[in-house]
């Protein structure tokens, strides 16, 4: 019995090999080497019995692209492979992937714990829109494990954090949080968008589910909105009796129990067969294709993103108009030790700075840039700039803004792959305009 063998091979392939090959064998009918875009809604059944087997989930295959599509499946497998998980489910956006993840876990009246340091849109989704499903959330400072423990209730079904938190500089202590989740018999969900699987491997630290906005670094060029949920396959959905959506007879499938029937494939089966089927937030095949192209260069881009970002952060830290820089790549960061542990290859390229001139200076800075694009995205080859208080985080209260690291004086940067001297020169110019 040789370990982890691929077809003719005796050791595990490296990350770079897998980011190019995982999930994308040559298309067998034509031999096409690059993954075809199956721009197609539905798939012909061999006969009535084959159709029945497919609808009953008794065989593998395609029915209708709201559930599964070959191009989307290729991306799902690639992301699952890169994260070291059992399976993946792609979605129309990062936000859709968050709904899909919680939809499998939560019943009306259930509760989860989320970090106070999240992408502002996630705070709004969890705190406001999720309430309409009667899903309750408590936002907790996850730097304080005792506070997380105190927030647990018998109805708590998950802990949700970002590995590297948007808008910047904060690293979650995944191992400590996973231990708390394990004690409570609930999954730890990690949004790994800002780090990508190249920089951080949350399953290695005990996370159970990973969500992504593939819109960012994974697609990489700012072309395609998308998301994914990856399941580690390690969580026991049956043991605690807390997860009827995964481990009780499913009325929508004539009483099928997903965990009993599909074992460690239960979550991913449920996410397609119930989640995507009924929520309908499916990724388009074209978006899957563009995201597959992005992942083929992920390691190279992330290395350069990180190197550029570190240099820019160091420049900003020494600039007289800048009050502080929150970037886990900096020696001064309180999260430096956590970054070394969880992000050994680099601390990402999205971070924040505080301007001495406050809200006014923030507005002037974003308007003073020539090269940086003023827009609400991150993780593009282009350098991006944003003033969260006047944009992404404006729906939040001032207290929530401050807790999320997005107060009035804060500017967020997503450092791209341009010549680093040009990036720095552009910021120098913009900072001069704030004076």
Partner 1 sequence: MSSPLTYSNNELLAILRDTRTIAMVGASPKWNRPSYFAMKYLQEKGYRVIPVNPGHAGKEILGETVYASLAEIPGKFEMVDIFRNSEAAGPVTDEAIAVAKDKGIKVVWMQLGVINEAAAEKARAAGLTVVMDRCPKIEFGRLNAELSWGGFNSRIITSKRRRVRLS
Distance CA 335, CA 95 (A): 26
25 is a contact residue toward partner 1 (CB under 8 A): yes
d(CA 240, CA 303): 41
CB distance 186 to 159 below 8 Å = yes
Which residues are CB-neighbours of 218 under 8 A, at least 6 positions away? 79, 196, 212, 226, 291, 294, 295, 298, 379
Instruction: Draw the binding track, 262-301, toward partner 1 (x: CB under 8 A; -: no contact).
Output: -xxx--xx--x-----------------------------
Q: Compute the distance between CA of residue 145 and CA of residue 177 in angstroms, rounded to an integer.
A: 7
429 lines the binding site for partner 1 (CB under 8 A): no
Helices 358-368 and 420-434 cross at an angle (nearest 10°) of 140
Question: Is-contact 266 246, C-beta < 8 A?
Answer: yes
* Stretch of residues binding partner 1 (CB under 8 A), selected from 78-86, 134-142, 145-153, 338-346: 78-86
Site for ligand PLP in 41-100 (CB under 6 A): 93-95
Kindly indicate which of the ranges 94-102, 152-160, 173-181, 229-237 contains the residues binding partner 1, using the contact rule CB under 8 A. Answer: 229-237
Which residue, 11 or 131, has its beta carbon nearer to partner 1? 11
For the bound state, the minimum distance from the C-beta of residue 124 to ligand PLP, rounded and expressed in Å, comes to 11
**CB neighbours of 227 closer than 8 A, spacing ≥ 6?**
90, 91, 92, 93, 94, 95, 96, 97, 98, 211, 212, 213, 214, 215, 283
For ligand PLP, which residue of 23, 222, 227, 388 counts as binding (CB under 6 A)?
227
Which member of 215, 282, 349, 434 binds ligand PLP (CB under 6 A)? 215
Query: What is the sign, positive or negative, of the torsion defined by CA atoms of 61, 265, 85, 133?
Result: positive
Q: Can you give 35-80 as a three-state secondary structure string? A: CCCCCCCECCCCCHHHHHHHHCCCCCCCCECCCCCHHHHHHHHHHH
Query: Cβ of residue 122: shortest distance to partner 1, in angstroms?
Result: 23
Residue 86 interacting entry, from partner 1, ligand PLP, none, C-beta within 5 to 8 Å by type:
partner 1
Q: Restricting to residues 30-69, which ones interact with partner 1 according to CB under 8 A?
A: 31, 33, 50, 53, 56-62, 68
Q: Is 87 an interacting residue with respect to partner 1 (CB under 8 A)? A: yes
| CA angle 225–230–235, rounded 5-degree value | 155
Q: Which helix (H) or strand (E) holds 148?
A: helix 145-151
Q: Which residues lie closer than 8 Å to 34 by C-beta, 6 or more apart?
A: none
Q: Closest distance between partner 1 and the C-beta of residue 430, in Å? A: 43
Q: Which of 166, 326, 352, 401 binds ligand PLP (CB under 6 A)?
A: 166
Q: Is the dihedral of CA 377, 128, 106, 152 positive or negative?
A: positive
- Candidates 23, 88, 121, 206: give the one binding ligand PLP (CB under 6 A): 121
Q: Residue 294: which of ligand PLP, partner 1, none does it interact with, CB under 5 to 8 A by kind?
A: none
Q: How many residues bind ligand PLP (CB under 6 A)?
A: 16
CA distance 5 to 285: 30
**Residue from 124, 172, 193, 308 binding ligand PLP (CB under 6 A):** 193
Where b means 16+ CB within 10 Å and e means fewer, 313-328 reads bbbbeebebbebbbbb
Among 38, 112, 119, 237, which residue interacts with ligand PLP (rule: CB under 6 A)? 119
User: Which residue in the shown chain puts its C-beta closest to ligand PLP?
Assistant: 94
Express the helix, strand and coil content of the chain in percent, nearest 5 each.
40, 15, 45
| Binder among 35, 71, 76, 125 for partner 1 (CB under 8 A) | 76
Per CB under 6 A, the list member of 138, 162, 208, 409 interacting with ligand PLP is 162
- Report the distance separating Cα 187 and Cα 209, nearest Å: 7
Residue ranges that bind partner 1, judged by CB under 8 A:
1-9, 13, 17-18, 21-23, 25-26, 28-29, 31, 33, 50, 53, 56-62, 68, 70, 72-74, 76-77, 80-81, 85-90, 232-234, 253-256, 260-261, 263-265, 268-269, 272
> Which residues of the chain form contacts with ligand PLP (CB under 6 A)?
93-95, 119, 121-122, 162, 166, 191, 193-194, 213, 215, 225, 227, 378
């Amino acid at each position: 019995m040789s370990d982890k063998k691929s077809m003719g091979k005796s050791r595990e392939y490296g990350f770079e090999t897998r980011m190019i090959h995982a999930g994308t064998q040559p298309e067998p009918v034509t031999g096409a080497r690059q993954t075809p875009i199956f721009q197609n809604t539905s798939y012909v059944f061999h006969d009535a019995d084959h159709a029945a087997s497919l609808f009953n989930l008794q065989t593998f295959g395609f029915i209708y692209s709201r559930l599964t599509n070959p191009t989307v499946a290729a991306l799902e497998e690639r992301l699952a492979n890169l994260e070291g998980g059992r399976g993946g489910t792609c979605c129309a956006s990062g936000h859709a992937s968050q709904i899909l993840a919680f939809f499998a876990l939560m019943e009306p009246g259930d509760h989860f714990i989320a970090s106070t340091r999240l992408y502002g849109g996630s705070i709004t989704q969890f705190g406001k829109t999720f309430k309409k499903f009667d899903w309750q959330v408590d936002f907790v400072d996850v730097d304080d494990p005792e506070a997380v423990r105190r927030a647990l209730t018998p109805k708590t079904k998950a802990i949700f954090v970002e590995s590297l938190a948007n808008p910047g500089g904060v690293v979650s202590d995944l191992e400590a949080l996973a231990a708390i989740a394990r004690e409570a018999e609930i999954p730890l969900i990690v949004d790994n968008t800002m780090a990508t699987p190249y920089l951080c491997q949350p399953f290695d630290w005990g996370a159970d589910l990973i969500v992504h906005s593939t819109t960012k670094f994974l697609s990489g060029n700012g072309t395609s909105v998308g998301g994914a949920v990856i399941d580690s396959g390690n969580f026991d959905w049956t043991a605690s009796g807390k997860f009827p959506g995964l481990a009780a007879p499913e009325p929508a499938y004539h009483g099928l129990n997903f965990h009993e029937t599909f074992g460690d494939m239960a979550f991913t089966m449920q996410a397609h067969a119930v989640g995507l089927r009924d929520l309908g937030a499916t990724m388009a095949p074209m978006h899957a294709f563009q995201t597959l192209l992005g992942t083929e260069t992920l390691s190279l881009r992330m290395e350069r993103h990180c190197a550029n970002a570190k240099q820019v952060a160091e420049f900003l830290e020494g600039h007289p108009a800048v009050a502080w820089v929150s970037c886990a790549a900096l020696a001064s960061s309180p999260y430096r030790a956590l970054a070394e542990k969880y992000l050994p290859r680099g601390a990402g390229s999205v971070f924040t700075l505080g301007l001495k001139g406050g809200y006014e200076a923030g507005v002037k800075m974003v308007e003073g840039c020539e090269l940086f694009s003023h827009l609400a995205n991150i993780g593009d080859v282009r350098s991006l700039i944003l003033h969260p208080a006047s944009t992404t985080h404006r729906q939040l209260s001032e207290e929530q803004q401050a807790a999320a690291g997005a107060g009035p004086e804060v500017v967020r940067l997503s450092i791209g792959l341009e010549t680093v001297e040009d990036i720095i020169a552009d910021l120098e110019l913009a900072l001069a305009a704030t004076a």
